[in-house]
Structures are given as structure tokens and as C-alpha cells.
Amino acid sequence: MPIDRRKNKRRDLRIRKNKEQPLANKGECWNAKIETMAKNEMANLQLARLKKQLQYNYKNSFFYRKKFGEAGIKPEDIRSINDLQEIPLTTKDDLRKIQEESIEKFGHPFGPNTITCAPIEKIIRLSATSGTTGTPTLYTLTKHDVDVVNELNARRFWMAGIRPGHVILQALSLSMFAGGLPLSQGIMHVGACAVPVGIEGGTKRVLDFIRLTAPVAIFTTPSFGLYLIEECPRITGNPASKLGIEWFFTAGEPGGGNIELRKMLSQGFGGAKIFDHTGGAHSFAGATCDEPPESYSGMHFISGDYCVLELISPETKKHVDLTDGAIGELVITSLDWEGGPFMRYAYGDMIQVSTAPCDCKRTGLKFKIIARADDMLIVKGVNIYPEAIRRAILRFCPEVTGSFKIVLDKPGPLVTPPLRIRIEYSSRVDEKSIPSLEEKIEKHFKEQLRISPKFIWVREGSIPREMKKTKFIQIEGNNL
């Protein structure tokens, strides 16, 4: 049965009658003072907070003290944001190592050898990275830090138009990720209603709860969104366009910035608005403002008061200036953070920044996530990211389904050509027409990506759909 939207409409009307409740207007901010703060004013605020934070880190963490020692400097030597470059980077491997050492030495992961600066009795929440590669690393938060995360999430959701009276379904992994409890608390913080059903229960359970709770918004990965569009008619007898979803929040993968994907998701969900966002469990946060699915200018960096953002070259690890169009690996430093503040933490995402002003008046720069730095492949000297391959393949939907795997003999980044791509043709395509389809795709890859992959054609449904983060790279010998 199609979802009856009348109940939600009644609720919206009730909200609009209440003059104290602001309406969802483009440009409206949860925290206008910060979100539209002049750039020089923000830089001053960052520097003041940075100086305090570095003193705090130095005083409370052996690990950070050692980092200063390695560079032969003290916190007071950092007199500008640029001086930050003098402090050595912290890597994910560093965090894993000190976490393990702490568990061994102290019986818990908050030892003085780690980045945890607050006493253990002040830590009230742990979140974790997704751990798609290796052991997850923990984010440690005090009550103050949890309040900061709630504030940052509220800025993101308010920007998209989420208001009290909106029911929002979380179809991301609830298991220790930003898409679980921190997201639920952020939804509640703006006064909206969270339905934390999670993705672990499977597709049918997500669809059951959409019927039961009639959400107007869904948070999930772009891949799972496409999967819902595919599966919804089979499970419910109706297309996903009848589910009543008006906001689709993409997370967990860079696909929310992929125009082809945005269009497919919007169309599949009956004209839903597509919002992309990232961060959500610590001090780095970004989200798109209102934009049609056919365009994508990137996410606003909306947490400048709690985080300094830097770029480095993924190869040399040297600083890259934040000029319009600059590309680099994201490095973050937490400000006004008590639990486990990041200090020049190399985050792993490759981003491209844009400094052009935005209609919404927010002053935070915009950025697009290009890929995980670890995902980069090099084919005959050409740097290539799985996300770019996905973008190229999606142009050929519906002749292809959009599902694919990059098949490698051994882990990248160096690939012995040709790059092999297992690709699904749609059930509506006759096998005889595959050669001509392949010719078109090969031409596009050569022109747009400067590579000539070898395509391995498989039938629709041959490549298993992943509910969490989709892994596009398959090392030969694993199950496909």
C-alpha cells in the first residue's frame, strides 16, 4: 500500500501556524552568528581557541607532548594557523597503536599515552570509525563534546530544512558509527523525531518501518538508496517513489556528490531532495545546502569554530594552500574539545575545496570528497579513484545496473594494465548488444578518464549488493 501522507501534512500545518517555529527557508541558519561569520573573524576565533587547545593537549597527553618534542617546539611556538604545519601529523596507524598499548598497559583505551586528554570519569561516549580497513579507532567524548556534536548536527539538519514535526529514519549502521547514536541525538536536538531502525535488520525491516512510521526523510548510503529503489517494488508491491520520502540524506560514501547518482536517487524516491553530509561524531562536519539533484557544488564546512581544516599532498604529506580548486588529503585539528581532541589528524579523505561565495550566505568554504586517499589507483601513470569509475559507469544506466567491482590481483595503488572491471548489464539488454554497449563505454572511459579498462560482463544481480559502505575494489581470490 502507498504510504498515507495526510498525517504528516496535518502536522506540518500545525507547525506553520505556530509563529514561533521558523519555516525552512534557504539561507536560514541554526547558528547564524557562526555560520555566516566573516572569514577574518572566524580566523581570529580559531587562533584563540587553537592556542588554548594546544596547551591543553600538551599538558594532558604524553602522545601529543612527544609530537611537539619530535619537532623541537612547544605549544607557545604556534602563533598562527600556518604555524600548525610545524607539528607532526597524527595518522590512523598512530591511533591504533596507542589504543592497543593503552589497553595492554592500563586495561582501557583512554591511557595517558593516547590522545584522550580528559580524565576517564569525564568520558561519557565512545564512537568509532567504520573500520573498513583494520581495527576501528575510537572517538572519546565528554559531556561538553557531546553537546558540540549535537550543535554541529543541528546546523547540518536545519540547513537542509529539517524542523520539529519531521520524522526521520536512520538506515545507516547503528553500530558505533556516526550514523547511529550521534545522528539520533542530532535529530532530537533540532526537535525532529528520530527512527533509529538501522541497516543491520535488513531491507525488509527498513521498508516495514517506513510504512509504520511514515518518515519524510531518510539517512542512508547512496548504494543502499539504489538498492531500496530496486527492491521496494518486489517487497512492497509499490515503487520507492510512493514511500513519501522528501529528503534523502546521503552518508558513508562519496556518492552524494555524484550527479548521476543524485538524479537516480531523486527520481527513484519521487523527486526527493538530495543532501550530502559528512562527519557527525567529532569536530569535523560538512553538509550541502539546498541544491537540485542535477548540480553539486560541495558541502559547506560548518564547524570552523570547533575544527581547523588543512590539506596535504597524499604523496609528499606537505601542506597544500586552501585556494579555490585545491585538492589534497584532509587534515583536522579539534578546537574547544575535551575528550580525545585530534591534532593534525590525517583523516584519509581526499577533498577538493571551493572558496566561491554561496547564495545561502554561509561563509564556510565548500568541499567535495573525491575519495579515500587509500583507494587511489595508478594505471599507466594515471591517478584514478573508484568514485570516478562509478560516475562513468552510471552514465550508461539503465543499460547497465550501476553495480560493478574493480578486480585487482594485488592491493593498489599500482595496477598492471589493463584495469579489470566486472560490470553488470541490465536484464533489459540483449546479450547480442553488449559489444556495441562496450564500445560506447570504452570510448567514454578513454576520453574522460584516460584509461582503457577490460570489462567483464555479468548478468543483473550477479554482484552482491552491500548495505553498509560499498567496497568497489575486489582483490582476486576473495568471494565476489
Return the range that interacts with Zn ion (CB under 5 A); candidates 42-50, 274-282, 330-338, 354-362: 354-362
Return the range that interacts with Zn ion (CB under 5 A); candidates 177-185, 285-293, 420-428, 443-451: 285-293
Q: Does 118 bind Zn ion (CB under 5 A)?
A: no
Q: Does 358 bind Zn ion (CB under 5 A)?
A: yes
Instruction: Pick the closer one to Zn ion by CB: 189 or 362.
Output: 362
Sheet harboring 377-379: ordered strands across? Answer: 382-384, 377-379, 414-415
Instruction: Pick the closer one to Zn ion by CB: 111 or 279.
Output: 279
Return the range that interacts with Zn ion (CB under 5 A); candidates 51-59, 275-283, 304-312, 352-360: 352-360
Q: For residue 213, give the C-alpha cell.
A: 512510521
**Minimum Å distance from CB 297 to Zn ion?**
8
**Minimum Å distance from CB 358 to Zn ion?**
3
Options 98, 118, 289, 437; binder of Zn ion; rule CB under 5 A: 289
Options 47, 360, 406, 467; binder of Zn ion; rule CB under 5 A: 360
Distance of CA 353 to the CA centre of its chain: 15
Return the range that interacts with Zn ion (CB under 5 A); candidates 91-99, 161-169, 207-215, 350-358: 350-358
Burial of 374 (0-12, 13-18, 19+ CB in 10 A): middle
- In contact, 213 and 205? CB cutoff 8 Å: no
Return the range that interacts with Zn ion (CB under 5 A); candidates 13-21, 54-62, 92-100, 357-365: 357-365
**Minimum Å distance from CB 359 to Zn ion?**
6
Q: Does 148 bind Zn ion (CB under 5 A)?
A: no
Instruction: Pick the closer one to Zn ion by CB: 35 or 145.
Output: 35
Which residues are 323's β-sheet partners?
none
Instruction: Pick the closer one to Zn ion by CB: 15 or 358.
Output: 358
CA pair distance 153, 263, nearest whole angstrom:
25
Closest CA relative to residue 338, chosen from 121, 70, 167, 184? 121
Instruction: Pick the closer one to Zn ion by CB: 36 or 91.
Output: 36
Return the range that interacts with Zn ion (CB under 5 A); candidates 270-278, 337-345, 356-364, 461-469: 356-364
Instruction: Pick the closer one to Zn ion by CB: 183 or 289.
Output: 289
Which residues are 285's β-sheet partners?
279
Instruction: Pick the closer one to Zn ion by CB: 130 or 297.
Output: 297
- In contact, 59 and 338? CB cutoff 8 Å: no
**Minimum Å distance from CB 301 to Zn ion?**
11
Output the CA–CA distances (angstroms, integers) from residue 478 to 317, 329, 333, 469, in the order listed.
32, 29, 37, 17
- Count of residues for the chain? 480
Q: State the residue for C-alpha cell 501556524.
A: 17
Instruction: Pick the closer one to Zn ion by CB: 26 or 440.
Output: 26
**Minimum Å distance from CB 391 to Zn ion?**
23
Instruction: Pick the closer one to Zn ion by CB: 176 or 289.
Output: 289
> Site for Zn ion (CB under 5 A): how many residues?
4
Count of alpha carbons within 13 angstroms of residue 107, beta-carbon side: 1
**Minimum Å distance from CB 161 to Zn ion?**
13
Interface ranges with Zn ion (CB under 5 A): 289, 358, 360, 362
